[in-house]
């Protein structure tokens, strides 16, 4: 697993971006820029709009104001992985079938399924129905989805939720390798994520304006 530059240099630039739901603004005007090899950590109290910002960047929710663009991206391709609270794992399919499906549907540009399962520590459970996995194991399977198709931008919403200590290390390791490959990521998290190279991390604190109101 030698890390190499897989992705062309890219950057995400948002200017004056206001995110919200149902016409209600949740964030202030954000001006954000993340480039290849960097990870932006979103922090802030519950209700500060972290998930909403990620969903907006994923193109699921329209922004209330402002805009954002993936610069120098090939718009023919899907450029991002969104990994949300819900794992999108079907309990009635086996671990292998779940991952196989997402690899086929997302374009199998990444690692083979077996390698990805090995990476997240689920290789021994490949033929088990995903319904028998624990919450943490299901999360690991969801993370394996990021590996089987290469996409430059990862949008992670609480990637370490339900994971044990070793799982936290796993997230850090995967993230670090992704940045090595020239990818970049935006992660909302309450847990501390420390990459080996702190220069690659930036932090954006959300909810400063309504910090008191949303507690």
Partner 1 sequence: MTAFRAMLIRELHLALRGGGDMLTLVLFFVIVGAIVPFAVGPDRELLARIAPGVVWIAAFLAMLLGLDRLFRPDHEDGSLILLRQAELPLSAVVAAKLIVHWAVSALPLIVASPFVAMLLAMDVATFWRTLLSLLLGTPALAAFGAVGAAVTVSIRRGGLIAPILIAPLSIPVLIFGTGSITATQSGAALLFLAALSLMATALSPFAAALAISSGED
Partner 2 sequence: MTMETTPKQSWWSRIAHPGQFVIWTRPLLWPLTILTALLFVAGLWFAFFNSPEDYQMGDTVRIMYVHVPNAWLSQFVYAVMSVSALGTLVWRHPMADVSMKAAAPLGALFTALALFTGALWGRPTWGTFWEWDGRMTSTLVLLLIYLGIIALWRAFDDQLRAARVIAVFTLIGAVNIPIIKFSVDWWSTLHQPASVFRPDGPRMPGSILTPLFVMFFAFTFLFLVLHLKAMHTEVKRRRVMTLQRRAAQGLGA
**What are the residues binding partner 2 (CB under 8 A)?**
21-24, 210, 212-215
Q: Find the binding residues for partner 1 in span 150-189 (CB under 8 A).
A: none
Nearer to partner 1, 92 or 212 (CB): 92
Nearer to partner 2, 196 or 212 (CB): 212
CA torsion sign for 146, 149, 150, 154 is negative
* Residue 24 contact, options partner 2, partner 1, none, Cβ 5-8 Å cut-off depending on partner type: partner 2
Q: Which positions from 86 to 125 touch partner 1 by CB under 8 A, shown as an x/- string?
A: xxxxx-xx---x--xxx-xxxx------------------
Angle made by CA atoms 201, 116, 102, in degrees to the nearest 5: 95
* Residue 22 contact, options partner 2, partner 1, none, Cβ 5-8 Å cut-off depending on partner type: partner 2
Q: Whole-number minimum distance, CB 44 to partner 2, in Å?
A: 15
CA–CA distance, 42 with 207 (Å, rounded to integer): 10
Residue 93 dihedral angles phi and psi, to the nearest 5°:
-100, 155
Length of the chain (residues): 215
CA–CA distance, 171 with 38 (Å, rounded to integer): 15
Token pair listed for 28: 């202030």
Angle made by CA atoms 142, 11, 206, in degrees to the nearest 5: 70
Which residues in this chain contact partner 1 in the complex, by CB under 8 A? 21, 55, 58-61, 77-78, 80-82, 84-90, 92-93, 97, 100-102, 104-107, 145, 149
């Amino acid at each position: 697993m030698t890390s190499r530059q897989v992705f062309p240099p890219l950057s995400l630039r948002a200017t004056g971006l206001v995110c919200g739901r149902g016409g209600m603004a949740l964030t202030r005007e954000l001006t954000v820029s993340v480039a290849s090899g960097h990870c932006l950590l979103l922090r802030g109290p519950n209700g500060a709009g972290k998930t909403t910002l990620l969903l907006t960047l994923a193109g699921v929710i329209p922004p209330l104001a402002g805009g954002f663009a993936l610069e120098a991206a090939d718009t023919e391709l899907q450029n991002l992985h969104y990994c949300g609270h819900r794992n999108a794992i079907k309990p009635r399919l086996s671990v292998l079938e779940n991952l196989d499906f997402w690899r086929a549907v997302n374009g199998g540009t990444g690692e083979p399924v077996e390698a990805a399962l090995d990476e997240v520590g689920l290789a021994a459970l490949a033929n088990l129905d995903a319904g028998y996995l624990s919450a943490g194991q299901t999360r690991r399977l969801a993370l394996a989805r990021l590996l089987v198709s290469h996409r430059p931008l990862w949008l992670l919403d609480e990637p370490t939720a339900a994971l044990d200590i070793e799982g936290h290390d796993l997230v850090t390791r995967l993230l670090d390798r992704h940045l090595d490959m020239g990818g970049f990521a935006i992660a909302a998290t309450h847990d501390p994520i420390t990459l080996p190279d702190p220069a690659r991390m930036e932090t954006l604190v959300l909810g400063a304006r309504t910090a008191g109101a949303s507690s």
